[in-house]
Chains A and B, each alone.
Chain A
Amino acid sequence: MEHTYQYSWIIPFIPLPVPILLGVGLLLFPTATKNLRRIWTFLSIFLLSIVMIFSLYLSIQQIFISCIHQNVWSWTINNEFSFEFGYFIDPLTSIMSILITTVGILVLIYSDNYMSHDQGYLRFFAYMGFFNTSMLGLVTSSNLIQVYFFWELVGMCSYLLIGFWFTRPVAANACQKAFVTNRVGDFGLLLGILGLYWITGSFEFQDLFEIFNNLILNNRVNLFFFTLCGFLLFVGPIAKSAQFPLHVWLPDAMEGPTPISALIHAATMVAAGIFLVARLLPLFIVIPYIMYIISLIGIITVLLGATLALAQKDIKRGLAYSTMSQLGYMMLALGMGSYRSALFHLITHAYSKALLFLGSGSIIHSMEAIVGYSPDKSQNMILMGGLTKHVPITKTAFLIGTLSLCGIPPLACFWSKDEILNDSLLFSPIFAIIACSTAGLTAFYMFRIYLLTFEGHLNTYFLNYSGKKSRSFYSLSLWGKEEEKKLNKNFGLVPLLTMNNTKRSSFFCNKTYKISNNVRNKIFITVENFGLNTRTFYYPHESDNTILFPILILLLFTLFIGAIGIPFNQEGIDFDILSKLFTPSINLLHNNSQNFVDWYEFLRNATFSVSIAFFGIFIAYCLYKPFYSSLLNLTLLNSFQKWNSKRIRWEKLINFVYNWSYNRGYIDAFFKTYLIESIRGLAKQTNFFDKRIIDGITNGVGITSFFVGEVTKYIGGSRISSYLFLYLSYVLVFLMILFFFYFEKF
């Protein structure tokens, strides 16, 4: 067993060969690499499964003998400083690596189909492999420098993947925004690390905690500086986990491909912030005020994310704001000191949200064939509706995910969210009220998304949107110019799942195939195809099995992952896997009495939270069910007003909330007007200063000397007499000065 730990440094390096080989291959031997495309996918899935098995083994070990393993190697040695690299295996690490690898494998399988018609298929897998490597490196890192190292690498992967479709200007802006916002967080993180190093002289987690506790006990440090360092350290997680002031990048990050949104921007990378705070919780607990700041930021994010999610038109943006809100819950839990429930929610939310994102990807994939390939159309919930009939399996999965996120009992998120709500009740009543009401809001907006997408009839054909349906060449060429359509037969998993194989080939693939094949010789048929397309109604199809398989697996996870946190009454001792894992590092500040679970209390709290969720669902149902054909929120509001005409104030409030949400809380606009414009202005001003003043002096000196020369030339006029005159006058001046000094001396 000991040697297993010894070899666990290899965890981050196992997936690394794929991106390296792919990168080298794509640069040097593009055709050969592209011919092997499917093999690369299999290879990366295979390597990631090895990591999964390995980390599964590790965490099983951790359950029985919970201990921390650490090993470091020096990276740079100097007599004054040394950085070390190593691994640090504890329950948190093993849980996180299981999470990363399971979601990662499923997303890889999913994206094999999702991206199969993309020209950048291999580039995508290279980025994904690199992301997996750096994320695993992040969770296994043993000191703060190493955390920072991988923290930035993860951010870079996110940058590359958001800007994956680089021809889209929106994506280009989004990826830059994400990187710069994350850099603001890194700025804080780096300063915090340096500050801590200055105080303690160490980067290692264990040493850090010990030295810190000693210092606090002996009262030998400036508390203000302490708190400042803690806060700066917390800025990193704020940016990475999309907490309140720096959340602006997350919704824009949805410009990336959907599998990425599932893996990076819902399940793993955004959870890195939570991970870091959890890792450093022993540190944060001893610093005064910082826990309040964490929980305050958390609760603001919870509320803000939920309100912003209320009126999003884009399905992925809605989900992104929901992710933000849920991350706020985790941050809130950490701020309250309930380590266990935060991580529990991290796990359950990761699976549920990955399920939702993969489901939305499947929907987008099938909608694209009908409305076009621009994300404004294919992800627009207003154009969806009534998809229940057409995509039943995705619908079921999405519904389960939605219910789980709303907190309906047997599903995953219920267990964890319920715990957080309970803890917040113990922590502070105001926070509890906000958290509980936001649970209702969560149910509302999730069901709004669900109802707009799946209930009613397909809105595309009811609205006069067909005029806008023209597919621009640019979006078409982006998504697929694949010459050969590869049949997805070779999946060994396919026979296991009995599905409607007749509809397997999706509509779009067929069509492109025809176009690209018929352009040369059968032009008429192509035209006919197009004509056919506009006249008859095409309905979305269920996606391929390769897409559905990961969704179903995640569905299972969503159904059963809650079990790891449910206390089993076994042999008189309450026992659940999660507590078993987190016992040594558990840091419950306030409710130590949690050890013996009071079933009555649990039931009471659960009933309360479930009823709130049902209330939210009910309102969503009232608002959105009858008006499935409504195009804009305004019409919806009008009808709402008719239905309930008495309450003008209420309507105003709702209007305000919708405007608030639709304009993203005016925060983006605020940042744009103040921050970006001021930086631009600063750039202009410094540029002006540089050009006119600093450079102006130089040029001025040059021009002056030029003029002086010209004047001399003019005065001289190239006559000997004037030169002689000048010469003699200089001599005279010189003599006079000499004379003057001579007299002065004597």
Chain B
Amino acid sequence: MYLVFTTNDFPWLTIIVVFPISAGSLMLFLPHRGNKVNKWYTICICILELLLTTYAFCYNFKMDDPLIQLSEDYKWINFFDFYWRMGIDGLSIGTILLTGFITTLATLAAFPVTRDSRLFHFLMLAMYSGQIGSFSSRDLLLFFIMWELELIPVYLLLAMWGGKKRLYSATKFILYTAGSSIFLLIGVLGISLYGSNEPTLNLELLANQSYPVTLEILFYIGFLIAFAVKSPIIPLHTWLPDTHGEAHYSTCMLLAGILLKMGAYGLVRINMELLPHAHSMFSPWLMVVGTIQIIYAASTSPGQRNLKKRIAYSSVSHMGFIIIGISSITDPGLNGAILQIISHGFIGAALFFLAGTSYDRIRLVYLDEMGGMAISIPKIFTMFTILSMASLALPGMSGFIAELIVFFGIITSQKYFLIFKILIIFVMAIGMILTPIYLLSMSRQMFYGYKLINVKNFSFFDSGPRELFLSISILLPIIGIGIYPDFVLSLASDKVESILSNYFYG
């Protein structure tokens, strides 16, 4: 079978992927005037890119088509059949738009960064390219390359602009992720070299290929380890709190908003789509792991003193819902997982942003030293309250509908026994009780009470227009999705169906 690629007349995706990093390298030629030029240049690039993406998707993406769209196919390296294949479908369009949105806002949030701002902004743009590239690549090796491409900026951002223990956490991050990339590479090579003389790297072709069971399981484990580090799935999560605790908050926004989602995206894109038999074999275990993860991270979180680490554990806990949704192998479950990817991208980024801005003001990291900040920074307090409500899945916000649909996914799943389903749902729902405990006690420790902080200059500025704009513009999609979830669900529903059809007829 050979798929004929109807290449559009204009290579939208290539431009979208290449534009940020090439524009970023042009920053070298900007005059040495100071930070302002770099900042505004980067912001303009980001906004331009976002507009470009939106434009391209508006006019060229058809919602009701589960196939790959906007596809491009160029031969890159002749002697081993390596193509520059790009294309998007319902699964990746949401994440690409999320990437554009969050990266733009993270650049806006990085305004106070003054040290080495040229490099900083270049790295942001490089990350932009890497992320969009890995979401839109249709070639396994290209996916791997893009996956690696975005690690280096994160490492540098972490190692140069982080907190006190930045080198430790940066090393930990790079070891974890690079170590997991080995498994990814093994998997990629193994899959591509199987069964034929010349490597097949095309995802379309691979999706229709079947493997011997043991081999499939081996591939599955390899990919699973790679994505489990990124996602993260316990027990491979310990890089995340350290990284988030030390990174600058704009980096945190990118990490929580997009990087973690790459793991989940990879799980759907590769493990589910390419290896359906192994996935249905592994899914009960993944479900158990996901459930344990929700409880485990939610109960580790209250023990953290560091504000950002606490939020980091809350993201780990929320990732559990994605894993459960993916492994439920039902239409609502997978839809819920995809919705949770988007929704947590917004919520996690916004929470890190608010934690970072309040850290900028009080310069205290530990929760037990804070208190009574609501009087001096009421706007941040308001936004923080709203977003922690969003994070604990208050109805009307995006988190609720995502978690609800995941619950439905488990209920409607035909695959599992009743007792198993009841147990999983019960334990997940206990996580629902634990979530407000850590989120609300965090907000209480930070804002409530009247403790006066021993800082010489006690009067803080409340959030200015930039920060207010930032937090409101994250809040709007959260509420929008919460009130009208079809907005996001309609993007992916056809793709979800076509993925799941493998499981019922395959």
Contacts and interface: CB of A to CB of B under 8 A. Distances in A.
Nearest to B463: A27
Nearest to B444: A172
A162 to B, nearest CB: 11
A78 interface: yes
Given A27-B379, A80-B330, A687-B300, A183 B395 contact: no
A373 B395 CA distance: 36
A166 B374 contact: yes
Interface stretch (B111-119, B259-267, B406-414): B406-414
Contact of A686 (B300, B332, B450): B300
B401 A76 contact: yes
A176 B300 contact: no
B437 A180 contact: yes
Nearest to A152: B395
A683 B299 contact: yes
A687 B305 CA distance: 11
Contacts of A187: 429-430, 432-433
A183 B331 contact: no
B281 interface: no
B54 interface: no
Interface stretch (A190-198, A358-366, A548-556, A736-744): A190-198
Contacts of A474: 450
A167 interface: yes
A183 B486 contact: no
Given A79-B493, A191-B426, A687-B300, A27 B468 contact: yes
15 contacts: A28-B468, A77-B486, A78-B493, A80-B332, A179-B440, A187-B430, A190-B432, A194-B411, A474-B450, A686-B296, A686-B300, A694-B234, A694-B237, A698-B176, A702-B171
B440 A180 contact: yes
B302 interface: yes
A81 B449 contact: no
B145 interface: no
A525 to B, nearest CB: 29
B498 interface: no
A679 B437 contact: yes
A590 interface: no
B396 A149 contact: yes
Contacts of A687: 300, 303-304
Contact of B394 (A153, A175, A180): A153
B396 to A, nearest CB: 6
A169 to B, nearest CB: 5
A695 B449 contact: no
Contacts of A672: none
Nearest to B441: A176
Contact of B440 (A27, A80, A176, A695): A176
A683 to B, nearest CB: 4
B190 interface: no
B375 interface: yes
Interface in A681-699: 682-684, 686-687, 690, 694-695, 698
A180 B440 CA distance: 9
Interface in B323-338: 330-332, 335
Contacts of A198: 411
A156 B299 contact: no
A78 B235 contact: no
Given A80-B332, A198-B411, A176 B426 contact: no
A172 to B, nearest CB: 3
Contact of B382 (A27, A149, A156, A702): A27
Contacts of A194: 407-408, 411, 425
Interface string B428-440: 0110111011001
B448 A682 contact: no
A102 to B, nearest CB: 26
A49 interface: no
Interface in B320-361: 330-332, 335
B204 interface: no
Contacts of A80: 330-332, 412
B172 interface: yes
Given A149-B400, A191-B429, 20 more contacts: A26-B382, A27-B382, A75-B485, A76-B485, A78-B332, A78-B335, A81-B405, A156-B389, A173-B444, A176-B441, A179-B440, A180-B433, A180-B440, A183-B436, A187-B429, A190-B432, A191-B425, A191-B426, A679-B299, A694-B234
B182 interface: no
A680 interface: yes
Give 10 closest A-B pairs by Cβ, nearest first.
A687-B303, A172-B448, A80-B331, A149-B395, A683-B303, A683-B302, A695-B238, A167-B450, A686-B300, A176-B440
Interface of B: 171-172, 175-176, 234-235, 237-239, 296, 299-304, 330-332, 335, 372, 374-375, 379, 381-382, 385, 389, 394-396, 400-401, 404-405, 407-408, 411-412, 425-426, 429-430, 432-434, 436-437, 440-441, 444, 447-450, 468, 472, 484-486, 489, 493, 497
User: Which secondary structure characterizes the binding site on chain A?
Assistant: helix
A198 B440 CA distance: 32
Nearest to B381: A166
A197 B408 CA distance: 9
A81 B385 CA distance: 31
A687 B309 CA distance: 12
Contacts of A26: 382
A180 B375 contact: no
B299 A686 contact: yes
B489 A78 contact: yes
A76 B492 CA distance: 13
Given A152-B395, A167-B372, A702-B175, A183 B299 contact: no
A173 B443 CA distance: 11
B404 to A, nearest CB: 8
Nearest to B465: A28
Contacts of A690: 238, 300
B374 A167 contact: yes
Nearest to A182: B436
B69 to A, nearest CB: 21
Contacts of A702: 171-172, 175
Contacts of A171: 448
B407 A190 contact: yes
A148 interface: yes
B436 A179 contact: yes
A687 B426 CA distance: 23
A163 interface: yes
Contacts of A186: 432
A148 B437 contact: no
B423 to A, nearest CB: 12
A686 B484 CA distance: 37
Contacts of A77: 486
Contacts of B493: 78-79
A79 B436 CA distance: 33
A150 interface: yes
Given A78-B489, A191-B429, A194-B425, A167 B449 contact: yes
A190 B429 contact: yes
Contacts of B302: 679-680, 683
A81 B472 CA distance: 31
B408 A81 contact: yes
A184 interface: yes
A77 B301 CA distance: 35
A186 B395 CA distance: 12
Contacts of B382: 26-27
Contact of A167 (B304, B375, B389, B497): B375
Given A167-B372, A194-B425, A76 B395 contact: no
A373 to B, nearest CB: 13
A153 B396 contact: yes
A277 B311 CA distance: 37
Contacts of A680: 302
Given A183-B433, A686-B299, A197 B448 contact: no
B436 A180 contact: yes
A159 B335 CA distance: 31
Contacts of B429: 187, 190-191
